[in-house]
Amino acid sequence: MLQNMRSASQHWLGKIILTVVFTFLIAGVAIFGVEDFFRSNSATTVATVGKTQITSEAVRSAYQLQLQRYQSQLQRSLTPDQARGLGLDRQVLSQLISEASLDQQAKDLGLVIPDSAVLRAIQEEPTFKGANGSFDQTLFFQTLQRAGINEAMFVRDQRAAAGRLQIAEAVAADIHVPAALREAVHRYTTERRAASFLMLPPSVAGDIPAPTDEEVKTFYDENKSAFRAPDYRAVTLLPLDPQAMAKPDAVTEEDVQKRYDLAKAQYGTPERRTIQQIVFPDEASAEAARKEIESGEKPFEAVAVARGVDAKELSLGNLTKADLFDPAVADAAFSLAQNTVSAPVKGRFGTVLLRVTAIEPETRKPLADVAPEIRKTIALERARTAVEKDHDAIEDERANSKPLAEIAKERGLTLVTVPAVSAQGLDPSGKLVDSIPDRDTTLPIVFRSEIGSDTEALRLKSGGYVWVDVTGIDHAHDKPLDQVRDQAVAQWRAAEVAKRLSEKARSLTERLDKGEAIDTLATEVGVQVQTSTDIARSQAKDGLSADVVNRLFAVPVDKAVSVESGESRVVAKVTAATMPAFVPGSASDAAISKRFQATLIDDILGEYIADVQKSVGITVNQTAFRRAIGGEY
């Protein structure tokens, strides 16, 4: 991790996001349980770490950024309850407290990153260098603007991240993984075993007589939870789905043609060109070089070498016009004939000569091939616009206590009626209820609602909405024996088979440990001896599940084990164990050291951060915290 941090610090963006690392380092510290929370007198201060204050605005900004990241990953919106369920609020506050703790520690230690060091780092950052290799102030501000960061914020974050990195390196630099640990890991990961085993199927248990009424009742009483009926809800749903509302047939030919002309790049590939470029200090030198190239005095490549341009750096790549950042260069390159040299072009980063060495023409699918797709796209866009209007209108009608059934009838919408559904989306017969839109979103609300409760419309993944009206509740209850007798008998029989197989397997295991041959036991129970070699931990092989394999690694060689395997049971004896020698300094040893070094560094940094937090003191104003993230819980 420390090496990764050093690498990250070589790039300005890495320096900014480096602080995120510390969020994960303190995962086990549980900030919310380490210190008591105290209410601050300041309404704008959420937390105080030592003498460093974390403002409501800082919390609000960080929370919104984290929320946007999660919503982008999930491709759906999150309600405040869902965000809190994911722990986003505590995660953000933990991160900010961790950063503030390290900043406070840097102040206490007298660590100062001088302006000259920050300025030098910015000027040496390759991202901010122009075509001539020097710092480009315009490019610097453009890059910050695209990232949504102003200069003061960037310099502040750069300085703070550098201070935190210095502390991290001082605490966890040159951590070595002990040889004993490396050898133990080597033994664990490289050991291989061989075993002979018997697979005992249910038939080995013999005939199971029908249970008596008393046996069935006793089994039912002891396992009532297995026969418990879950909560079921009767619910009426009014979905407003843009996919269902879309009407491709209503899209005119004129609309299709307009969309095709406007988005032609979407229905084909744009022209691409392989472009070479040489940068000159001024127009005169570029013109002189062009004349040398056109007269045949010097090839284009020779001019590039004379300008100190490596052959590998001569080509800008195979690009579309939109890929070129400089409009002047783009216009010139895409007006050139193949294998010709341009006149001097005054670009943003200097005067250049261009040459196009290859051209891939634009391709475009015929309108007839893409017309159905365009119709669907336009129809869906219109439906999504209509959904928002219908949503507002339906909400007004709901506010006037109009029933969903009446709303659906008036608007020609399909009302979904579900007589009974469990929290898992199953009906009483165990079949999946597939008429519920977006089950993952809808069912949790259904089971948090009561009969007659007025719930807000839920936003669906499709971009639509659904209104929920719970009409009946059948609470969880124990099913009577008469209702589940057949099920109870089947489970009793399965339990009896498992019991007999377990007893048989235990007997066979004991006899194997006493030295009896596995072939003799196999003949006795009427199964075949099977073997497996080169068995690795936690990896199923030759019909042996991962659970069975792990049990084989839990006993010494020449010992037997008995493990359940589905409806069958395995009786196995470990016949051999092999392991390559541990060679310190080998490639495998280096890989182990690298992997566990990161873990050790994380642990050490985590402990250090936890100690810093205790020593500097932390107070949190929960009211201000809830207000900052818009919560009232």
DSSP assignment of 237-277: EEEE-HHHH--GGGS-HHHHHHHHHHTGGGGEE--EEEEEE
pLDDT tens digits along 191-238: 999 999 999 999 999 999 999 999 999 999 999 988 999 999 999 999
- Average pLDDT score over the chain: 84
Question: What's the DSSP call for residue 456?
Answer: P
Dihedral angle of Cα 498, 499, 501, 507, to the nearest 10 degrees: 160
Tokens of 400: 């006037």
> How high is the pLDDT of residue 631?
58
pLDDT for residue 313 is more than 60: yes
pLDDT greater than 80 at residue 436:
yes
pLDDT at 170 over 90: no
Per DSSP (E only), the strands in 485-580 are 530-535, 560-565, 568-578
What 3-state DSSP class applies to 10? coil
249 CB-near residues (< 8 Å, 6+ apart): 375
- Of the chain, the percentage scoring pLDDT greater than 70 comes to 90
**Cα 421 from chain centre:** 31
pLDDT 10s digits, 573-586: 999 999 999 999 99
Q: How far apart are CA 572 and CA 563, in angstroms?
A: 8
pTM over 0.85, yes/no: no
Contact call for residues 438 and 461 (beta carbons, < 8 A): yes
Per-residue pLDDT for 4 more than 60? no
Residues with Cβ within 8 Å of 171's Cβ and at least 6 positions away in sequence, in order, are: 604, 605, 608
Check residue 15 and give its pLDDT: 43
Torsion of CA 494, 495, 500, 505, to 10 degrees: 100
Q: Could you tell me if 318 and 274 are in contact, meaning their C-beta atoms sit under 8 angstroms apart?
A: yes
Answer yes or no: is pLDDT of 173 > 90. no
Cβ atoms of residues 94 and 134 within 8 Å:
no
Q: Which residues pair with 55 in a beta bridge?
A: 45
Q: What percent of the chain has pLDDT over 90?
A: 37
Residue pair 608/29 in contact by the 8 Å Cβ criterion:
no
CA–CA separation, 406 vs 443, rounded Å?
A: 23
Compute the half-sphere exposure of residue 332: CA atoms within 13 Å on the CB side of its CA: 21
> Which are the contacts of 333, defined by CB distance < 8 A and separation ≥ 6?
273, 275, 321, 324, 342, 354, 356
Angle at 233 between CA 231 and CA 235, to 5 degrees: 170
pLDDT in tens, 60-75: 878 887 887 777 777 6
Is the distance from CB of 236 to CB of 471 less than 8 angstroms?
yes
Report d(CA 438, CA 21) in Å as an integer. Answer: 35
Tokens standing for residue 111? 């660590």
Question: Above 60 in pLDDT, residue 183?
Answer: yes
The C-alpha atoms of residue 164 and residue 103 are separated, in whole angstroms, by 7
Return the higher-pLDDT residue of 485 and 326: 485
Find tokens 């073997």 and name the residue: 531
Q: Which helix (H) or strand (E) holds 453?
A: none
pLDDT at 341 over 50: yes
Is 170 within 8 Å of 106 (Cβ atoms)? no
Beta bridge partners of residue 619, listed in sequence order:
48
Phi-psi region of 617 (alpha: psi -120 to 50; beta: other; left: phi over 0): left
* Residue 174 region by backbone torsions, left for phi larger than 0, else alpha for psi between -120 and 50, else beta: left
Query: Which amino acid is located at 361 in the chain?
Result: P
What the block records as the tokens of 610 is: 């936890």
- Which amino acid is located at 75 in the chain? Q
- What is the C-alpha end-to-end distance of the chain, expressed in Å? 37
| CA atoms of 28 and 390, how far apart (whole Å) | 48
Q: CA 284 from chain center: how many Å?
A: 54
pLDDT band at 558 (very low <50, low <70, confident <90, very high): very high
CA-CA distances (angstroms) from residue 211 to 208, 488, 493? Answer: 8, 10, 8
* Distance of alpha carbon 466 from alpha carbon 512, whole angstroms: 63
Q: In the Cβ-directed half-sphere of 224, how many Cα atoms lie within 13 Å?
A: 9
Measured distance CA(130)–CA(233) in Å, rounded: 65
The predicted pLDDT at position 365 comes to 84
